[in-house]
Amino acid sequence: MTKSWLSIPSGSHFSLANIPFGIITHSRFQVPRIAVAVGEHALDVNTFAQKGGFSKCAGLDSSALKVFTEQSLNAFAALGRSHHRTVRNYLRDVFRADTPYPEVLQANEGLKNEALIPLSEVQNHLPLTIGDYTDFFAGRNHAHNVGTLFRGPANALNPNYNHVPVAYHGRASSVVVSGTPLNRPWGQVLPAPGATTPVFKPCAKLDIELELGMFISRGNKLGQPINVDDAEGHIFGYVLMNDWSARDVQQWEYVPLGPFNAKNFGTTISAWVVLADALEPFKTAGLTNEVELQDYLKETKKDNVVDINLEVALITENGDENVISKTSSKNLLWSWPQMVAHHSITGCNLRTGDLLGSGTISGFEAGTQGSILEQTLGGKTPLELKGGEKRSFVNDGDTIRIKGVAGSVDGELVGFGECVGKILAPISRS
Amino acid sequence: MTKSWLSIPSGSHFSLANIPFGIITHSRFQVPRIAVAVGEHALDVNTFAQKGGFSKCAGLDSSALKVFTEQSLNAFAALGRSHHRTVRNYLRDVFRADTPYPEVLQANEGLKNEALIPLSEVQNHLPLTIGDYTDFFAGRNHAHNVGTLFRGPANALNPNYNHVPVAYHGRASSVVVSGTPLNRPWGQVLPAPGATTPVFKPCAKLDIELELGMFISRGNKLGQPINVDDAEGHIFGYVLMNDWSARDVQQWEYVPLGPFNAKNFGTTISAWVVLADALEPFKTAGLTNEVELQDYLKETKKDNVVDINLEVALITENGDENVISKTSSKNLLWSWPQMVAHHSITGCNLRTGDLLGSGTISGFEAGTQGSILEQTLGGKTPLELKGGEKRSFVNDGDTIRIKGVAGSVDGELVGFGECVGKILAPISRS
């Protein structure tokens, strides 16, 4: 375990094996700044860079340093994976108990006071300016669970499922950072099974979708697909994601063009981007695919999903915490490089800051599914919560909190912190 | 008819009743600039503004003038409709034969030489930086034609169609400006009807979709829907659109989340944004809806689609021009304000530069449909072109050219120019 001169509590998601990047403001500065999370502190990287913090960092020239003055991580992401590695390794060295550069921060009281800020004092913002947001459907257990609900187990998966990394284009504008409350949306829904005339009312089946999100570092030119074996070099890092879903709206609207209003009122992501390098030790195989893949989806180097322990809690307005799901992000049929390769195989251009979602991550057993739809069999078997409360879907005042942490390497955790969202009363129609 | 001191050929799309905005470069400047099109010239608005061209324009302060130094129209769009009106009216006055401000441009030889550039010399670029691109399905005749092909006339329209302005989130990154060639995409397709195992090959059913596109000027905050009667104030202007579609890819991939790779390889839009005000005289009623609408879709002021004469030509590699469709953009079930209201009814936030597509615009009769799928009944009755050529779908080397022009007011046309795209050979798989 790599010890730090900075106090990092045992169990912290932000050990020296992590060094995730985010965007913060603070009472001292209202213009967003780049930061990394270490233990219970944020390092204001903007200030750190301007005060010479990177002076001992080999391989980072002054033009590259300018990216740390930006208000989003896009320019840093666009530098490419080798630069991310250089910066992450250097910052880890700066914080090591046996740092080769004590003068940079450990022994620099002025810079420590200015640039190290308790996480409890910072406000997080969206880490990147998102171009396009695409949501995949790679969680085959979820697809199977939901398909079984709607079509029975024999026809649970659609014929294309094991061949195509199915996805849809999502809404980028309403992706919000953890902590942002959302109002329950109104929408057109059918009043009863078999009805043909909709009514307009607040969504009555507000659901969650437990997902992992991935940000693109460098993109590709239009007409030039990314080879599956090159895709890893286009991955910046990962976040937790809750793709809120209005199931009743979705059911009425989704034929034939897919979900639209059912998904566009908000998608919550965690604040700190865990870099691809930090998750390398946790790469593993995803779900086994029985079919012969098309060549463009065949990976030379396999094991390209990541094994992150995920936990979903529903917190009622009185503060009762109910863990409703535990699973792993390895429950995906398609790896991240396969998603990138499929997305771009038509020539579609990905850009720095694009966000790709995994699709809902579920196991099969009770308490391992990533949506309430699955857990309650479509609302029929409500969740039993503390205090005698029951939930078929999410109520007003409920908070959904996702945590994600990768198993320890030498006692150091690589975690995401939390992805939190509270559902408020329906949008006012005054 | 408003005459100009500048020669504007009869039949020009860019009369003084129009004044559309775009983004150009020229051999003299490689950094994109804002321009308007007048007759056969572009006015370099950046230079015009910097050289005092707006000195006689009441109601435009110096901070507003800064928007004309941008490389996209977003900042201008964000100023809001009243500013667009002020600027458009003023520029029209500047170009009138009886201009009250001859000293601004007509008699200013230096500025005329510098800022008035023949359209044949300019290169157009995307007019706005697009945030999200949403494509509606408001062309009911198209939905009916395609539904009839797949399900027969009795079930042509899905049960939700007349109630919900159906839409899907599209791919913003691959929206390209008129004149940009696109390579034929590869994709997974079923080799024959009834097959269950796909093959990977170049798309064999490359189709077009004739659409109108609309850009958002001012957006709304997350959680605060735009009222249908306020929506007009959020509309910046319109462009022609060709939403290229790989029908064989679409057929295999689209269940259950809608089209993805079938659409994400490219969408072509015309270069000049015709402002909402310029199309006010051409507003009319759309298609009649028989169902009782939900309140949020009921408009106080009706007649909110626009009547633009649309024409699609397929130009073969030898230069033969074949007009394959003529129709009007009034063939929509949902008005533009209804689309805006529906999109945001969940609280979804629209942003300046968001692009909304109408969906394919078709009539019922032969030669009025906006897709080749409809015209050839799914490829079964090929189009007969000049020189004995036939087309079931688009061939490599074919160019699709859409023109759009609103009927004349006092002899002045309000047109879009052209929306042109050529399909090149399949993406190289080397």
Residue in A122, A123, A116, A126 with CA at minimum distance from that of residue A8: A116
Residue in B240, B226, B236 with CA at minimum distance from that of residue B275: B236
Of B223, B296, B348, the CB nearest to A171: B348
User: Rounded to whole angstroms, what are the CA distances from A392 to A185, A259, A263?
Assistant: 17, 21, 19
Cβ within 8 Å of B, A 252-271: 252-261, 264-266
Q: Would you state the structure tokens that stand for residue B248, as one six-digit string?
A: 């064989």
Q: Would you state the structure tokens that stand for residue A336, as one six-digit string?
A: 């991240």
Of B171, B345, B349, the CB nearest to A174: B349
Is the model's pLDDT at A140 over the cut of 80? Answer: yes
Note the pLDDT of residue B430. 67
Catalytic residue among B13, B84, B142, B343: B142
The neighbouring-strand residues paired with B288 are none
What span, in angstroms and rounded, lies between the C-alpha atoms of A201 and A427? 10
Q: Would you state the structure tokens that stand for residue A190, as one six-digit string?
A: 């059918």
Q: Are strands A399-409 and A175-177 parallel, antiparallel or unpaired?
A: unpaired
Is the model's pLDDT at A318 over the cut of 80? Answer: yes
Note the pLDDT of residue A430. 67
Note the pLDDT of residue A59. 87
Please provide the average confidence, as pLDDT, over all residues in chain A: 96
Of B137, B185, B296, the CB nearest to A347: B185
Of B170, B264, B347, the CB nearest to A346: B264
Q: Distance from first CA to last CA of chain A, Å, rounded?
A: 57
- B187/A345 CB distance under 8 A: yes
Sort out which chain A residues have CB atoms less than 8 A from B167's CB and list them.
257, 260
Q: Are strands A308-315 and A116-118 parallel, antiparallel or unpaired?
A: unpaired
Q: Contact B21/B278 with Cβ under 8 angstroms?
A: no
DSSP 8-state class, residue B112: H
**Burial status of residue B155 (CB atoms within 10 A of its CB: 0-12, 13-18, 19 or more):** exposed
Note the pLDDT of residue A338. 98
Q: How does pLDDT run across A413-429, given as a tens digit for each residue? A: 999 999 999 999 999 98
Helix (H) or strand (E) holding A428: none
The arithmetic mean of pLDDT across residues A143-158, rounded, is 93
DSSP 8-state class, residue B95: H
- B351/A173 CB distance under 8 A: yes
Q: Are strands B267-269 and B175-177 parallel, antiparallel or unpaired?
A: parallel
Sort out which chain A residues have CB atoms less than 8 A from B256's CB and list them.
158, 166, 254, 258
- A173/B350 CB distance under 8 A: yes
Is A169 an active-site residue?
no
Sort out which chain A residues have CB atoms less than 8 A from B183's CB and list them.
223, 347
Residue of B nearest to A180 (CA): B222
Residue of B nearest to A166 (CA): B253
Cβ within 8 Å of A, B 200-239: 200, 219, 222-225
Q: Is A357 on the interface with B (CB under 8 A)?
A: no
What span, in angstroms and rounded, lies between the C-alpha atoms of B208 and B399? 11
Which of A129, A140, A222, A260 to substitute to test the interface with B, most B CBs within 10 Å?
A260
User: HSE (CB half, 13 Å, CA atoms) of A261?
Assistant: 31
- B198/A259 CB distance under 8 A: no
Q: Is A182 on the interface with B (CB under 8 A)?
A: yes
Residue B15 sits at φ, ψ, to 5 deg, of -75, 175
Is the model's pLDDT at A411 over the cut of 90? Answer: no
- B171/A222 CB distance under 8 A: no
Q: Any known ligand binding at A129?
A: no
User: Rounded to whole angstroms, what are the CA distances from A247 to A161, A267, A376, B222?
Assistant: 21, 14, 13, 20
- A12/chain B closest Cα distance in angstroms: 33
What span, in angstroms and rounded, lies between the C-alpha atoms of B273 and B271? 7
Peptide bond into A256 cis (omega under 30): yes
Share of chain A above pLDDT 90, in %: 94
Torsional class of A66: left (φ above 0), alpha (ψ -120 to 50), beta (otherwise):
alpha
Q: Any known ligand binding at B209?
A: yes
- B369/chain A closest Cα distance in angstroms: 20
pLDDT band for A194, please (50, 70, 90 cuts): confident
Q: How does pLDDT run across A368-378, given as a tens digit for each residue? A: 999 999 999 99
- A293/chain B closest Cα distance in angstroms: 10
Q: Return the domain boundaries, chain A.
A: 21-125, 133-424
What span, in angstroms and rounded, lies between the C-alpha atoms of A192 and A186? 17
- B150/chain A closest Cα distance in angstroms: 12
Q: Any known ligand binding at A263?
A: yes
Residues of chain B with pLDDT under 70: 409, 430
Q: Contact B265/B185 with Cβ under 8 angstroms?
A: yes
Catalytic residue among A41, A142, A234, A343: A142
Helix (H) or strand (E) holding A353: none
Which fold does the domain A21-125 belong to in CATH? SH3 type barrels. (2.30.30)
Cα–chain center distance at A163: 25
Q: Distance from first CA to last CA of chain B, Å, rounded?
A: 57
- B53/chain A closest Cα distance in angstroms: 34
Q: Any known ligand binding at A209?
A: yes
Residue A63, number of CB atoms within 10 A of its CB: 8
Q: Does A133-424 carry CATH code 1.10.10.10? A: no
Q: How does pLDDT run across A85-134, given as a tens digit for each residue? A: 999 999 999 999 999 999 999 999 999 999 999 999 999 999 999 999 99
- A222/B266 CB distance under 8 A: yes
- Measured at the alpha carbon of residue B153, what is the angle toward residues B152 and B158, in degrees to the nearest 5? 85
Of A168, A185, A223, the CB nearest to B169: A168
What span, in angstroms and rounded, lies between the C-alpha atoms of B418 and B311? 10
Q: Is A196 on the interface with B (CB under 8 A)?
A: yes
The arithmetic mean of pLDDT across residues A2-14, rounded, is 95
Which of B135, B175, B205, B257 to substitute to test the interface with A, most A CBs within 10 Å?
B257
Helix (H) or strand (E) holding B415: strand B412-424
Note the pLDDT of residue B410. 74
- A200/chain B closest Cα distance in angstroms: 7
- B356/chain A closest Cα distance in angstroms: 13
Of B166, B188, B350, the CB nearest to A294: B188
Residue A162, number of CB atoms within 10 A of its CB: 17
Note the pLDDT of residue B99. 98
Cα–chain center distance at A230: 22
Residue A63 CB contacts under 8 Å (≥ 6 apart), including other chains = none
Q: Any known ligand binding at B135?
A: yes
Q: Any known ligand binding at A151?
A: yes
Concatenated DSSP letters of A280-329: GGGEE------SPPPGGG--SS---EE-EEEEEEEE-TT--EEEEEEEET
**Cα-based torsion angle of the residue sequence A377, A383, A389, A390 in order, rounded to the nearest 10 degrees:** 0
What span, in angstroms and rounded, lies between the C-alpha atoms of A273 and A266? 19
Note the pLDDT of residue A237. 98
What span, in angstroms and rounded, lies between the C-alpha atoms of B421 and B177? 9
Is the model's pLDDT at A215 over the cut of 70? Answer: yes
Residue B209 CB contacts under 8 Å (≥ 6 apart), including other chains = B241, B242, B243, B244, B245, B359, B360, B370, B371
Of A171, A183, A246, the CB nearest to B132: A171
Q: Any known ligand binding at A70?
A: no
User: Rounded to whole angstroms, what are the CA distances from A20 to A24, A60, A214?
Assistant: 13, 19, 13
